[in-house]
Structure 1
Amino acid sequence: MSPIRRLAVIPLLLTLAACQPAAEAPEQAPRRLLSMVIEPATTAEASFVGVVSPRISVTQAFRVGGTLVSRSVGLGDQVRAGAPLADLDATTLDLAVETARANLQAAEAQYANAAGSEGRLRALTESDVTTVANLQQAEQQSAAALANVVQARSRLAQATEQRSYASLVAPFDGVVTTVGAEPGAVVAAGQTVLTVARTDTRDVVIDVPESFVQNLELGTVFRVAPQLSPATMVDGKLREIAPEADPVTRSWRLKIGIDDPPPQFWLGTTATASLAAAAADTVIRVPETAIRRTDAATLVWVVDPAQSVVKARPVELGAAADGQVEVRSGLAAGERIAIAGVNSLSEGQRVAEEGKLP
């Protein structure tokens, strides 16, 4: 072939080479993936043992000190509102009342004398027998005597009230739960003598873990039964949640109110409080390692069995406990999700199953 023909063939060969398809890039190998199938679980009944306690309990103490001479009730006695409970030796207080009453009588006599003198001087002033200055002095003495009467009456009322402090009466219908002093003892003002608790309303006090208290709110209904009489079961409503956890046990104290409790709910007895899930109430829980959190959303990687790829799925989470987290929405039973390496997966990435749980 002549050199001219060879030069003419070169452009043709280059054109044919350009028309050939490019070599395909090697396909990326599927990533080995640890996954599990979502299986819903029925919410188990949560039961806790607590103590039956009075909702209202009042400490009874004298407002003055003295010697306790009598106590009308003992531990466990039922009392009615206004019933006498205990008395102090009131000799000193009685003397104070008598002194105040005598001072009042003296002040009233002085006032009567001053008022009479004022009246006589006023009559003499009108007859020009005495001066106006003498009348004014009599009026001042009468006003001072009246002020003394008012002061004496106030002191008598104060002494009478102090005398009433020597006796204790029941503030309401209830039962005596503690006794702090015996007759003959010298008690100080404010020292506990008795404790009276109401019996018409009671609480069951229980301690629960933090994972349990997160899903509660005031008014939640519990089924409560004394352990000595399990068949006596009543409904109680959660009325108080401790504002903070116990610093030692890290548990939260709950108070479940019971109105008009049966006789089996004795104060101090143990009782079981159960929070049962509604019928057919199921939850979906997944390992916390399956959750990927970003600034925009919280998601899991769902495995597409037909294409063997992973797809991101936004989810709404609930309470977490023991390495598991509740998924409230976004997942359905039977779906398979990735449970390891979720932060390094990408949308549509091909995967091959390394392990399946269960």
Structure 2
Amino acid sequence: MKPVISLALAAGALALLAGCTPEGEKVKDAAPVRPVLSIVVASASERQQGFAGTIQPQYQTDRGFRVLGRIIARNVDVGDVVKTGQMLAQIDPLVLDLAMRASEAELAKARAQLSNASAAEIRTGTLLGRQIANQADFDSVQQAREAAAASVQQSEANLTKAREQRSYATLTADMDGVVTSIDAEVGQTVSPGRKVMTLARTDIREAVVDLPDSVTRSLAVGAAFEIRLQADPTIKAAGRVREIAPQADAATRTRRVKVTLDQLVDAFRIGATITAHPVMAVEAAALEIPVSALQERDGAVRVWLVDPAARTVKTVPVEVAAREGDRARIANGISAGARIVVAGVNSLSEGQTVKIDEGTIR
């Protein structure tokens, strides 16, 4: 009985080994499925780049007193809308009033001296005609009359200046606008030219954005932009570039661009946060892909094209029109909508089965 049992066990083991060998060999021969990072190619014109910015007035002025004085009144606060000629603030006018009165007195004195000099000239001229006075006396009184007349002109100019200085005691709005900042309070003594407040015009507004060099290189004054309000992206306005900063910021390496809005939209208030989208003309055939997707082999540039249905990859030759930083512009070889591998391009093989990451972005 024992030999019979041993033979039966041996036969069963051989049968099991025979059944497992083909399957094991099949698993050994199958190529590994490789996960890849891929993107769907889109034309440069389809990619909308948005840059955050704020709405600012195109024209704004810092208002301050032209003379030294202590502020005794301020009639506006931040956010107040003002009209041209409206009084904004006032300094103590006592010293200026005294200076004006002194100028008025000097003018009265000069006019009196002119009157006396004119009378003396007339009298001396009469005596000269009767040959009672000599020519030297007449020349002397004539010179005195001319000096008195000049003194009157000087006093009149001083009085005009004093009155002008007196008008500087009141700070008025030089345009219709809104108060955007207050820099001095009642009781402070301010020096001539020191900023007291800032006024901004509200009829012409612009979007101010900081753009990287890669974007500003393709921009020019007059380039079109689409401006959207971040609080409500459905509110939008068109604008055109008015100014591009000639030098990049030392810290951020961005350039400040000012885009004047073509129309006045009430929702775009001063200080509102917006998103600016440059509207750049790009050839329809021009595609942009990451430089990491390119594989250079045997003097040719190729990319790995993914077949989403078969989950396989193959290489296709492409023509690179230009490279800008980490982006490459493709002239031909692939079309918009194609899915390409953008990482690990040197470790794939033709026809290899891949696993597409569902989280890849377009």
Q: TM-score normalized by structure 1?
A: 0.72
Aligned equivalents of 1:141, 1:275: Cα separation in 2: 76
Unaligned runs of 5+ in 1: 1-38, 293-299, 304-310, 336-352
Q: Is the 8 A contact 2:84 2:176 kept in 1?
A: yes
For 2:325, the equivalent position in structure 1 comes to: 321
Describe the superposition over 1:69-112 as per-residue Cα deviations: whole angstroms up to 9, x where unpaired: 11121110001111111111011001101110110011011001
Describe the superposition over 1:2-39 as per-residue Cα deviations: whole angstroms up to 9, x where unpaired: xxxxxxxxxxxxxxxxxxxxxxxxxxxxxxxxxxxxx9
**Within 5 A, what are the aligned runs for 1:142-221?**
142-221=145-224
Shift of 1:332: 2.6
Please give the secondary structure, in 2, of the residue aligned with 1:96.
helix
Q: Is the 8 A contact 1:202 1:259 kept in 2?
A: no
Aligned equivalents of 1:277, 1:146: Cα separation in 2: 71
Aligned equivalents of 1:279, 1:106: Cα separation in 2: 79
For 1:8, the equivalent position in structure 2 comes to: none
Describe the superposition over 1:228-260 as per-residue Cα deviations: whole angstroms up to 9, x where unpaired: 232221101111111111111111211111144
For 1:130, the equivalent position in structure 2 comes to: 133
For 1:226, the equivalent position in structure 2 comes to: 229
Aligned equivalents of 2:71, 2:148: Cα separation in 1: 40
Q: Is the 8 A contact 1:52 1:268 kept in 2?
A: yes
For 1:41, the equivalent position in structure 2 comes to: 42
Q: Match for 1:320: what amino acid?
A: E
For 1:102, the equivalent position in structure 2 comes to: 105
For 1:17, the equivalent position in structure 2 comes to: none
Shift of 1:63: 1.0
Q: Is the 8 A contact 1:75 1:176 kept in 2?
A: yes
Shift of 1:41: 3.4
Q: Is the 8 A contact 2:294 2:301 kept in 1?
A: no
Q: TM-score normalized by structure 2?
A: 0.71
Describe the superposition over 1:286-310 as per-residue Cα deviations: whole angstroms up to 9, x where unpaired: 7499899xxxxxxx8579xxxxxxx
Q: Match for 1:111: what amino acid?
A: L
Q: Match for 1:41: what amino acid?
A: A
Shift of 1:354: 8.0
Please give the secondary structure, in 2, of the residue aligned with 1:42.
coil
**Within 5 A, what are the aligned runs for 1:271-310?**
271-276=274-279, 281-285=284-288, 287=291, 301=300
Describe the superposition over 1:161-211 as per-residue Cα deviations: whole angstroms up to 9, x where unpaired: 111211111111100000111222221222211100000011111112211
For 1:10, the equivalent position in structure 2 comes to: none
CA RMSD, Structure 1 to Structure 2 (Å): 3.0
Aligned equivalents of 1:232, 1:289: Cα separation in 2: 38
Please give the secondary structure, in 2, of the residue aligned with 1:246.
coil
Aligned equivalents of 2:225, 2:90: Cα separation in 1: 43
Aligned equivalents of 1:247, 1:53: Cα separation in 2: 22
The structure 1 residue matched to 2:142, chosen from 115, 139, 143, is 139
Please give the secondary structure, in 1, of the residue aligned with 2:128.
helix
The structure 2 residue matched to 1:63, chosen from 61, 66, 79, is 66
Q: Is the 8 A contact 1:53 1:267 kept in 2?
A: yes
Q: Is the 8 A contact 2:55 2:268 kept in 1?
A: yes
Q: Match for 1:321: what amino acid?
A: G
Q: Match for 1:85: what amino acid?
A: L
Q: Is the 8 A contact 1:200 1:260 kept in 2?
A: no
Aligned equivalents of 1:151, 1:278: Cα separation in 2: 66
For 2:243, the equivalent position in structure 1 comes to: 240
Shift of 1:46: 0.8
Describe the superposition over 1:310-343 as per-residue Cα deviations: whole angstroms up to 9, x where unpaired: x9x9x864x6021x3335xxx43359xxxxxxxx
Indicate yes or no: 2:106 matched with 1:114. Answer: no
Aligned equivalents of 1:232, 1:288: Cα separation in 2: 38
Unaligned runs of 5+ in 2: 1-39, 303-316, 336-347, 355-362
Q: Is the 8 A contact 2:65 2:171 kept in 1?
A: yes
Aligned equivalents of 1:95, 1:355: Cα separation in 2: 97
**Within 5 A, what are the aligned runs for 1:239-278?**
239-276=242-279
Q: Is the 8 A contact 1:238 1:255 kept in 2?
A: yes
Please give the secondary structure, in 2, of the residue aligned with 1:46.
coil
Change (3 A) 1:279 1:245: closer
Indicate yes or no: 2:90 matched with 1:90. Answer: no
Shift of 1:285: 4.2
Aligned equivalents of 1:84, 1:208: Cα separation in 2: 40
Please give the secondary structure, in 1, of the residue aligned with 2:106.
helix
Q: Is the 8 A contact 2:229 2:235 kept in 1?
A: yes
Shift of 1:280: 7.8
The alignment covers a number of residue pairs equal to 283
**Within 5 A, what are the aligned runs for 1:5-84?**
41-43=42-44, 44-84=47-87
Identity of aligned residues (%): 34
Q: Is the 8 A contact 1:41 1:283 kept in 2?
A: no
